[in-house]
Amino acid sequence: MSNIIGRIVSGDFEDILIRQKVDEEIEMGDLLVAEAEESYSLLQVFDLTYGSQISDKEKNLIAGMKLEGHGEELDFTEPELSNYIIGHAKNLVTVKDQNNNETPYSPKKLPGFFSELRRIKEEDLKFMENQDRAEKNDRALTTGKIRSGSKVLDVDVNLPGEDVLRHHILIPASTGKGKSNLVKVMIHDLLDEDYCGFLVIDPHGEYYGEESSNPGLSDHPKSADYLSLYSPDPPAGESSLIININQLRPSDLRNVMDLSDAQNEAIAAYFQDDEENWLENLVTGKDIKGVRDSTLSALQRKIYVYLSVSKENGDLNCEGMFRSEGGESTIDDILSDLEDSKAVVLDTSNLEDRVELLVGSMVANRIFNQYKNYKNSGDLDENPVISTVLEEAPRVIGENSMIRSGNVFEKIAREGRKFKIGLTAITQLPSVIPKEILANMNTKILLGMEMNTERKSLVDSASQDLSKDERNIASLDIGEAIITSTFTNFAVPIKIPLFEETITESDNDEDKYRDEDKGEEVRTEHLGINMED
């Protein structure tokens, strides 16, 4: 074997010890290969320690003498043999040659004692190509390239897009590690695909992009056809985020407001009296039998706080995005865009949290109910999978959620996959998300996370065994990640490209998009690997 980087010297099934060759360098997260007859094992380094043949007493003596200037001529005998680095590795996968077809297996035994190790090469990852499901390659979600330590291999990591979106994605990371960049890269890759749509609730105004200093999804060459923006102050050609108050239902208010039993009964009474104009009647104070004046006044105050809708001189006064005139079709338009496989960005950057969550839950609830109807009628397969992107996800699916427990986002997390509806949840605090919901997030893309409690919650809910990877997760740099998923053979280390680089590549990809002069579209096949089992 050429290019030897180390040799296995001891350890056990969970912790294989590797002595590093003196003129080589092993990094945290490095992928190494141990070859055997008709098979090879893929190992990953999760820790590094010092090793030495010299006793601690002698090392301390020599170091002290050198420090104090008394032992400049002192040195170790044959230092390249006496002192070395020990890498601690785990066995990720065993690959066997079955009739000239490389087949991966979960490791069942240790690599050979004293086995030589070399760095991974691109051809070592051919087993990740799934020949049996090659027809799904046109539905691949590309997240980045395989990473070995800090080295990046020219091998794309392709996940089965429809399955991954449908079964939820969790993107946890500390501030500044590249969460939003990753989501923009993912949506950009899938924007013109007809099997998926995205509902992006954008509280920071970072996804659409309007200026060269703030690139976003609008820079995609096909954004005019596959991207919609709804904003209180939209640019030319996009839609206003205005919703008619008659589109609200009692369940929408119950999701975000803390209501007493009497207030809930009052809302139900107004809705039962006139479904189309119930909220207008409530705000203007129409008399309804059984509703006390004190209860009505308290409800009117809460509605003003959340909706900025009040009574003035006997008429409705609408100060915010909820209006008495206009906005009747906004929710239907958003649903139509999503069913047309578009990415819909709701710009909520200028809205208060409670209003943002009310709007997001309204739209998500309509999608959920619509897709349940499609399943009941047998039309679900004809519609795209829809993923709702949630920034600061614990606000709606956390233990201290800002909206009512059992809200539509929790419903989607628990049962949305049955109806082709998924979540892409982004958070700095995965530990505050209930364990049941974390377990339902079948794909987790872990970026750097310094806090130990947060890393532990991720390790405990991962699809693969990450018990040895806490230091790896803590040491991830910006744009580095580990994918743990039920749709991968093992936890895959990746390097995520900068969104700006993705835009440049798509602009230069003349084969991928429509040739306007010829009026024909040619798609570039996804290159790389398919990660399905």
110 with 176, same domain: the answer is no
Q: pLDDT of the chain along its 533 residues, tens only?
A: 458 999 999 999 999 999 999 889 999 999 999 998 888 999 999 999 999 888 888 888 878 887 887 766 666 566 677 889 999 999 999 998 766 677 888 899 999 999 999 999 999 988 876 433 433 456 889 899 999 999 999 999 989 999 999 999 999 999 889 999 999 999 999 999 999 999 999 999 999 987 666 789 999 999 999 999 999 989 988 999 999 998 999 989 888 888 899 999 999 999 999 999 999 999 999 999 889 999 999 999 999 988 999 988 878 888 889 998 899 999 999 999 999 999 999 999 999 888 999 999 999 999 999 999 999 999 999 999 999 999 999 999 987 777 777 789 999 999 999 999 999 999 999 999 999 999 999 999 999 998 999 999 999 999 999 999 998 999 899 999 999 999 988 999 999 999 998 887 766 654 444 444 444 333 333 334 444 44
pLDDT of residue 2: 57
Closest CA to 347 of 338, 360, 364, 328: 360
CB 149 within 8 A of CB 392: no
Token reading at 139: 């539905």
Q: For residues 77-96, b (16+ Cβ closer than 10 Å) or e, as one string?
A: eeeeeeebbbbbbbbbbbbe
User: Rounded distance, CA 392 to CA 5, Å?
Assistant: 42
* Residue 347 CB burial class (10 angstroms; 0-12, 13-18, ≥19): buried
Task: Look at residue 174 and tell me if it is in a domain.
Answer: yes
Task: List phi, psi (to 5°) of 505.
Answer: -65, -40
Contacts 24+ apart (CB under 8 A), 214-219: 215/499, 215/500, 215/503, 216/184, 217/184, 217/187, 217/188, 217/191, 217/343, 217/345, 219/503
- Mind listing the pLDDT tens digit for each residue in 116-168? 999 999 999 888 764 334 334 568 898 999 999 999 999 999 899 999 999 99
Token reading at 54: 């010299």
Closest CA to 439 of 233, 250, 167: 167
Which CATH number belongs to the domain containing residue 350 in this structure? 3.40.50.300
116 with 13, same domain: the answer is yes
Residue with tokens 């129409």: 286
CB 46 within 8 A of CB 88: yes
258 with 145, same domain: the answer is no
- Residues linked to residue 424 through DSSP beta bridges, in sequence order: 169, 389
Task: Look at residue 332 and tell me if it is in a domain.
Answer: no
313 with 364, same domain: the answer is no
223 with 353, same domain: the answer is yes
Task: Look at residue 240 and tell me if it is in a domain.
Answer: no
Last residue of a domain, one of 128, 146, 161: 128
359 with 393, same domain: the answer is yes
Task: List phi, psi (to 5°) of 245.
Answer: -65, -25
Structural domain containing residue 84: 4-128
312 with 440, same domain: the answer is no
Measure CA of the first residue to CA of the last residue in the chain; give whole Å: 30
Last residue of a domain, one of 297, 323, 349: 323
β pairing state of 227-231 and 343-347: parallel
Neighbouring residues of 504: CB distance < 8 A, sequence distance ≥ 6? none
Task: List phi, psi (to 5°) of 422.
Answer: -125, 170
Task: Look at residue 331 and tell me if it is in a domain.
Answer: no
Task: Look at residue 329 and tell me if it is in a domain.
Answer: no
pLDDT of residue 72: 64
pLDDT of residue 131: 37
Last residue of a domain, one of 295, 323, 351: 323
Question: How many domains does the chain fold into?
Answer: 3
62 with 164, same domain: the answer is no
User: Rounded distance, CA 95 to CA 420, Å?
Assistant: 34
358 with 450, same domain: the answer is yes
315 with 457, same domain: the answer is no
Task: Look at residue 159 and tell me if it is in a domain.
Answer: yes
pLDDT of residue 509: 56
Neighbouring residues of 255: CB distance < 8 A, sequence distance ≥ 6? 357, 358, 361, 365, 403, 404, 407, 408
β pairing state of 227-231 and 239-240: parallel
Task: Look at residue 60 and tell me if it is in a domain.
Answer: yes
Task: Look at residue 411 and tell me if it is in a domain.
Answer: yes
Give the per-residue SS3 of 12-45. ECCEEEEEECCCCCCCCCCEEEEEECCEEEEEEE
Q: Cα–chain-centroid distance for residue 288?
A: 47
pLDDT of residue 520: 39
355 with 407, same domain: the answer is yes
Token reading at 28: 């945290």
CB 177 within 8 A of CB 476: yes
CB 193 within 8 A of CB 139: yes
User: Rounded distance, CA 331 to CA 338, Å?
Assistant: 11
pLDDT of residue 127: 82
313 with 285, same domain: the answer is yes
- Say whether 259 sits in a helix, a strand or coil: coil
pLDDT of residue 511: 47
What amino acid is encoded at 147 in this protein? R
CB 230 within 8 A of CB 205: no
Token reading at 482: 């580990």
